[in-house]
Amino acid sequence: MSSRIVKVELADRSYDVVVGMGAVSSLPKYLPKKAKRAVIITQQGIDNQVSDMVEAAGLQCETAYIGRGEEFKSLQTIQQLCESFAQWGITRNDLIIGVGGGMVTDVAGFAAASWHRGTDVIHVSTSLVGMVDAAIGGKTGVNLPAGKNLVGAFWQPKAVICDTAFLATLPSKELRCGHGEMAKYHFLTGDDLVSLDLDDRVARCAQIKADIVSSDEREGGLRALLNYGHTLGHAIEIETNFALAHGEAVAIGLIFASKLAHSLGRIPKERVDYHLRIVGETYGLQTAIPKSCSLDRLVTLMAKDKKAVDGLTFVLDGPQGVETVAGIQPQIVHQTLEAMEVL
């Protein structure tokens, strides 16, 4: 096994992201010495060698299963988890380990942030979205009926383990979602990610994210670039009633963002073509707007986006690279949407 180590640099809260085939075997090295017990938070069906490893390292281990689906990413799940922690006598010296995709690590992270006002957490990420995005950077939280991820906390893990062996059995929809997020990284730096093998590409995406988080942990500026393609992506998710999942919708959002940047004279057509090549050909993702979507409603949803502090706001490519651009006229957004392919 050869793993790559990516560092998230946050002074005394810095941590490793370990990426590679068999990376989970590095877990014992990251178990905090002060911990006597560990709680694994996971879902049924996730291949879980973690409890054996934790017990072999001398910790008492409990496992809490959470349901599958966004409806279980809730405050009720956090309450149930915390009640179990109380029953098991988990102290603030103990450890929580999230083993799963982005939903599991978001919930495990928030439970850890809340339990005794902050308990150590390690994420063992089993999905591509988790490995290149969700498990890294300390964003944790749950949904409310009013919207996704509305309640949460920044709580950095002690380590993130990305064992790429898990990807071999990932369902194709989840793989597409990971590819949507992965495609984004091709445009954030000048790196040639296409030439890298899977493990190196995952590690490089993790490194790009780690560098951004290290320089802007709380999303005061630079971290917003990780939302490239997400403004239309979020609107499409809602407008299709989540028939298109997050990463699939982000893929279309990346194409739209490039076309909008071109309409605004920020990038040449060749750069739009590059976006189409990466998203449509390298990753084989849908690049057209779903025909069920109303363009008017998409524009309305985009105007409500969290980033929209000054009119319609997008993360857009440009001569200085990708940056946040506010105050974009609805008319040009509408025209660019109308010119998109529909499927």
Q: Nearest approach, Cβ of 212 to ligand GLY (angstroms)?
A: 8
Asked if 184 is an active-site residue, the reply is no
Q: Which stretch binds ligand GLY (CB under 6 A): 133-141, 152-160, 196-204, 304-312?
A: 133-141
Asked if 117 is an active-site residue, the reply is yes
Selection from 78, 74, 53 nearest residue 64 by Cα: 78
Question: Catalytic: which of 62, 174, 181, 248?
Answer: 181
Q: Nearest approach, Cβ of 90 to ligand GLY (angstroms)?
A: 27
H-state helical runs in 217-294:
230-239, 246-263, 269-276
Q: Nearest approach, Cβ of 226 to ligand GLY (angstroms)?
A: 4
Q: Are 38 and 120 a contacting pair, CB within 8 Å?
A: no
Who contacts 46 (Cβ-Cβ below 8 Å, separation ≥6)?
Answer: 99, 100, 104, 126
139 binds ligand GLY (CB under 6 A): yes
15 membership: H or E segment, kind and range: strand 15-20
37 membership: H or E segment, kind and range: strand 37-42
Question: Catalytic: which of 246, 259, 275, 307?
Answer: 246
Asked if 209 is an active-site residue, the reply is yes
Asked if 219 is an active-site residue, the reply is yes
Instruction: CB nearer to ligand GLY: give 223 or 266.
Output: 223
Selection from 258, 260, 248 nearest residue 335 by Cα: 260
Asked if 93 is an active-site residue, the reply is no
Candidates 133, 199, 248, 317; binder of ligand GLY (CB under 6 A) is 133
Selection from 38, 35, 74, 43 nearest residue 54 by Cα: 38
137 binds ligand GLY (CB under 6 A): yes
Site for ligand GLY in 202-241 (CB under 6 A): 223, 226
* φ, ψ dihedrals at 340, nearest 5°: -75, 155
Residues binding ligand GLY (CB under 6 A):
133, 137, 139, 223, 226
- Active-site positions read 117, 139, 181, 209, 219, 223, 227, 230, 234, 246
